[in-house]
Structure 1
Amino acid sequence: MLELAFSISWLILVFILPISIIFIRIISIHNSSTKLPKSYPLVGSTFAGLSNRKRVNQWMAEVLSHCATRTFVIQGFIGPARVWTANPENVKHILQTQFRIYPKGELSTGILSDFLGTGIFNTDGDNWKFQRKLASHEFNTNSLRKFIEDIVKIELSGRLIPILETTADRNLVLDLQDILQRFGFDNICKISFGFDPAYFSQSLNRTEFAIAFEDATQISSNRFYYVFPLVWKLKRFFNIGSEKRLRQAISTVRESARKIIRQKKQETKNKSSIEATDLLSRFLRDDHLDDESIIDIVISFILAGQDSTSAALTWFFWLISCHPKVEKEILKEINEISGEPGYEDAKEMVYIHASLCESMRLYPLVSYDNKQAASDDVLPDGTIIKKGVRVIYSPYAIGRMENLWGSDWSEFKPERWLEIDKATGKLCFVPRDSFTYPVFQAGPRICLGKDMAFLQMKMLVVEILRRFQVVPAEATGFEPIYISFLTTKMKGGFPVKIQRRN
């Protein structure tokens, strides 16, 4: 086994990598003058991919915009092709019409299994159905109202606002992305696990868990970008480099999740049965799940709750800082609220809702999603799919297609989501179908927490903007970089100054 591994490693180092170094520059220069990447015998479009590996989302959006069907087949190195699409009809076909043919697949789940295990976001079939059914009980109207009234408002008034006030009074620079991640982490732990980690405290010290979780997310995501997957597999086998760091990070994350479960069990050990007061209680009550499976579930929900809304709001506040007219309209809507905003108020905030949707159109929570064909198929646009091929739809690219959003697609315009109700004369929100706007997925796997995410984001927007103005700390013209791991982030964070409003 070791001799085979060393032989393969030697082959890669001696033959493949030098060839890559020689050709990547030549072909990347050639590709820079063409709209679509060229495919060559044996290597396919590998070198075009290598030359754009640090801007995959932007590159594929450019490529797909020049395809008549908004679909492109990328031929890889020897292995099977990958199909990228920004065609809503294809998205509907993949996520709904032929849902059973397009599971996440062994390739994707295998890449993420060390970190996410068999949690709801990394599993298919009966296991996914079971977890989704149990989780769905936590997203009814009563739960959403409780989430706003008992958790979000307390976290805002008790933790977030005081930190922003201190920052404003001392004229400090704050990483808003980090702050929003902390807020999201505390909230998801409270609503899903009945546990307050108090990660969002005045000290803002980074915990061992937070560092480990970020490392595990980043390194696991980077596995998707390896042109030669054997490289990361060998690093994992020999426990070296990034794979060694990943193993250490996962160990820390799983132990932290294990402590949450242990604490929940301790709270209920004197009771005759575990009460289903939160998501974790529901899973603990089921005899079919062991602790390791529940740990997988806990990690998946922390990932969704911490990173998704924080990513959306980070880009939202940057866009608002660049568009004072939009901010003025948002403040106008906020000022129409009498007293402290609550659940019903949040539901009625149509301009803020439109602004959030527009922000996520340009900077979606998840930039692309992988599926793996379980059988041969043909997409609505005529693209032939062979069994085992990765089919990737890109919300990032879809949000940039001129045929879907018009010639002004690059502009931040909340108004594109609004129209005047002829009967009442009031603005009303006009949604797009979930295949043209798959920010929260679509079909059977559409995000259960979509409504909860919008409510949380609206409350944050209201409570922050009614008191403060968020100003980028960087020089005028600051252009943040959009990067994607399992969810998306702003590279290097979002340093801001907080100014009190008059």
Structure 2
Amino acid sequence: METLFVLFTAAAATSAYLVWFYLLARQLTGPKVWPVVGSLPLLFLNRRRIHDWISGNLRAMGGTATYQTCTICIPFFARRQGFYTVTCHPRNIEHILRTRFDNYPKGPTWQTAFHDLLGQGIFNSDGDTWLIQRKTAALEFTTRTLRQAMARWVNRTIKTRLWRILEKASEHNIPIDLQDLLLRLTFDNICGLTFGKDPETLSPDLPENPFAIAFDSATEATLQRLLYPGFLWRLKKLFNIGAELKLEKSLQIVENYMSDALTARKETPSDDLLSRFMKKRDVDGNLFPNAILKRIALNFVLAGRDTSSVALSWFFWSVMNNKHVEEKIVSEITTVLREARGENPRAWVEEPLSFDEADRLVYLKAALAETLRLYPSVPEDFKYVVSDDVFPDGTRVPAGSTVTYSIYSVGRMKSVWGEDCLEFKPERWLSAGLDRFEPPKDGYRFVAFNAGPRTCLGKDLAYLQMKSVASAVLLRYRLSPVPGHRVEQKMSLTLFMKNGLRVYLRPRVLA
């Protein structure tokens, strides 16, 4: 009798669950879901092409460019922790980033995962903590002295290191991993700009730097926290095993390096960001404590290294596959240098471009923007939903769930960028006379630098650094991919190339 009762209860519970699941699945508009595991199987199967998979799902939705799915199909969880709304509709993105900004913070999942590495730095905080850092940084990023400091670091790195490495590779016909060089270059530059300390990872022998290695390791281990249920990484942290053990060791190296940098800045302040923040005060009128200063600096290093280097890697890849674009870029650079430095081509390559010269490169900026449209450095971004809401397209978003806006997908939607959206076409960023850079009137069609209150403060400096580096390479060399080398996306929060970007360099003859 008891066995019969248990079977009956199990059957009733199963039937009730299946009815509940059927009603849930009918409301979801995204990829197919299964009981309990939801859309996780499809997510796993497409993990190596996740961004293109998301784009395909969004295109299948037609004009709404929004879908909803669930990864935990269990009552009480399905509508909150396991519920995802994915969109690339510009109006919805504006709603998230500007109109209802306060309703879509980074949220507890993101902040908890990144806390050990970034603390309450500007890229891992919300509310007043974020606002005071944002206001302080905004004042500094508008100063000419910071622009001059950035120009000094970039030009020195190009002249004394990058050119020497490229020259050797060209002379001996040795292939190089351009992505690796660019990562090293932007890492040295952002460290110099942030706390005035050059790790010199971009040197002729390409040394392994303990801080750079530890920083990479800590970032990778932190990202793993977002890929798995929270209880799993907390369990690993409790027993100090796996990725959490790796993270703890890496963070100790990072902490020691940052402590030394802070001590040096306190003894001899300079024009770097850390020195500037040391003079600022928090919401209570107190100077920032050392622990906060170190995390603020790390936040800027994380933001300033990967984004620019990744964008440059995809830029060079796109240019190699569109030779007509390359010729236009080189023609523009030589025209500017002819006016600024005279007719002698030797004078054009003696020094890297100054930021004032780089400012005049309109077509190059358009090519960089076009790269970021198709290959945004941060392809997807996630937000936590504080309270129930309705998107402009009518989609209902439940409190406690997650919203993903796909920056990668926006640039690949015909409804947003036209029938030629998959073509690499810098001209779409230029005025009718092709002499002026013109971003889209609807700013939320292009959010590679974020938008709304969290718009990237370093956007202009990033463009100038990328233009300087791109000019320094293309003015001296023609690039060609190593035969057989596969360029594909690495599945991470930043759009790295999984196998790097291996190229040969041939000297360019200027006339």
TM-score by length of 2: 0.85
Q: CA deviation at 1:484?
A: 4.4
Q: Distance in 1 between matches of 2:150 and 2:297?
A: 21
Matched, 1:66 2:73: no
Q: CA deviation at 1:196?
A: 2.4
Residue number in structure 1 paired with 2:241 = 240
Q: 1:462 to 1:415 in 2, by over 3 A?
A: same
Is this contact kept in 2: 1:218–1:486, CA < 8 A? no
Residue number in structure 2 paired with 1:83 = 85
Residue number in structure 2 paired with 1:386 = 398
Q: Distance in 2 between matches of 1:243 and 1:434?
A: 40
Between 397-406 and 87-96, the greater mean CA deviation after superposition: 397-406
Q: CA deviation at 1:184?
A: 0.7
Of residues 485, 489, 502 in structure 1, which corresponds to 2:496? 489
Per-residue CA distance 1:145-189 (angstroms, 9 max, x = gap): 414542222221122111111111122121111111111112112
Is this contact kept in 1: 2:183–2:309, CA < 8 A? yes
SS at match of 2:436: strand
Is this contact kept in 2: 1:148–1:342, CA < 8 A? no
Is this contact kept in 1: 2:30–2:69, CA < 8 A? no
Q: Distance in 2 between matches of 1:345 and 1:196?
A: 25
Residue number in structure 2 paired with 1:258 = 259
Residue number in structure 1 paired with 2:197 = 195
Aligned AA for 1:133? K
Identity, in percent, stands at: 40
Question: How do 1:208-247 and structure 2 match up within 5 A?
Answer: 208-226=210-228, 228-247=229-248
Q: Distance in 2 between matches of 1:111 and 1:434?
A: 30
SS at match of 1:83: strand
Q: Distance in 2 between matches of 1:484 and 1:450?
A: 24
Residue number in structure 2 paired with 1:284 = 278
Residue number in structure 2 paired with 1:499 = 506
SS at match of 2:205: coil
Residue number in structure 1 paired with 2:416 = 404
Q: Distance in 1 between matches of 2:253 and 2:44?
A: 32
Q: Distance in 2 between matches of 1:497 and 1:193?
A: 34
Aligned AA for 1:381? D
Matched, 1:38 2:42: no
TM-score by length of 1: 0.86
Question: How do 1:252-331 and structure 2 match up within 5 A?
Answer: 252-268=253-269, 277-286=271-280, 287-331=286-330
SS at match of 2:496: strand
Q: Distance in 2 between matches of 1:406 and 1:175?
A: 34
Residue number in structure 1 paired with 2:177 = 175
Residue number in structure 2 paired with 1:431 = 439
Q: CA deviation at 1:458?
A: 0.5
Of residues 47, 54, 65 in structure 1, which corresponds to 2:48? 54
Aligned AA for 1:405? W
Q: Distance in 2 between matches of 1:249 and 1:306?
A: 18
Per-residue CA distance 1:7-41 (angstroms, 9 max, x = gap): xxxxxxxxxxxxxxxxxxxxxxxxxxxx9511234
Q: 1:499 to 1:138 in 2, by over 3 A?
A: farther
Is this contact kept in 2: 1:474–1:495, CA < 8 A? no
Is this contact kept in 1: 2:50–2:491, CA < 8 A? no
Q: CA deviation at 1:479?
A: 4.3
Residue number in structure 1 paired with 2:25 = none
Q: CA deviation at 1:144?
A: 5.5
Q: CA deviation at 1:141?
A: 5.2
Q: CA deviation at 1:223?
A: 2.3
Question: How do 1:156-167 and structure 2 match up within 5 A?
Answer: 156-167=158-169
Q: Distance in 2 between matches of 1:216 and 1:487?
A: 15
Between 168-177 and 443-452, the greater mean CA deviation after superposition: 168-177
Per-residue CA distance 1:351-394 (angstroms, 9 max, x = gap): 10111011111110101111101111111111111211111111
Q: Distance in 2 between matches of 1:221 and 1:342?
A: 37
Per-residue CA distance 1:310-330 (angstroms, 9 max, x = gap): 000001111111111111111
Q: CA deviation at 1:197?
A: 2.4
Q: 1:210 to 1:143 in 2, by over 3 A?
A: same
Q: Distance in 1 between matches of 2:41 and 2:276?
A: 49
Q: Which runs of 5+ in 2 are unaligned?
A: 1-28, 281-285, 342-347
Is this contact kept in 2: 1:367–1:484, CA < 8 A? no
Per-residue CA distance 1:111-167 (angstroms, 9 max, x = gap): 111221111100001111111122123322513541454222222112211111111
Per-residue CA distance 1:383-421 (angstroms, 9 max, x = gap): 111211111111111111111112222211112222333
Q: Distance in 2 between matches of 1:149 and 1:208?
A: 26
Name which one, 1 or 2, has greater alpha-carbon Rg.
2
Q: 1:63 to 1:455 in 2, by over 3 A?
A: same
SS at match of 2:422: coil
Q: CA deviation at 1:350?
A: 1.3
Residue number in structure 2 paired with 1:249 = 250
Q: Distance in 2 between matches of 1:223 and 1:149?
A: 36
Q: 1:468 to 1:325 in 2, by over 3 A?
A: same
Between 406-415 and 369-378, the greater mean CA deviation after superposition: 406-415
Q: Distance in 2 between matches of 1:357 and 1:419?
A: 14
Is this contact kept in 1: 2:49–2:491, CA < 8 A? no
Aligned AA for 2:235? L
Q: CA deviation at 1:343?
A: 2.5
- What root-mean-square deviation, in Å, do the aligned CA atoms of Structure 1 and Structure 2 show? 1.8
SS at match of 1:469: strand
Residue number in structure 2 paired with 1:28 = none
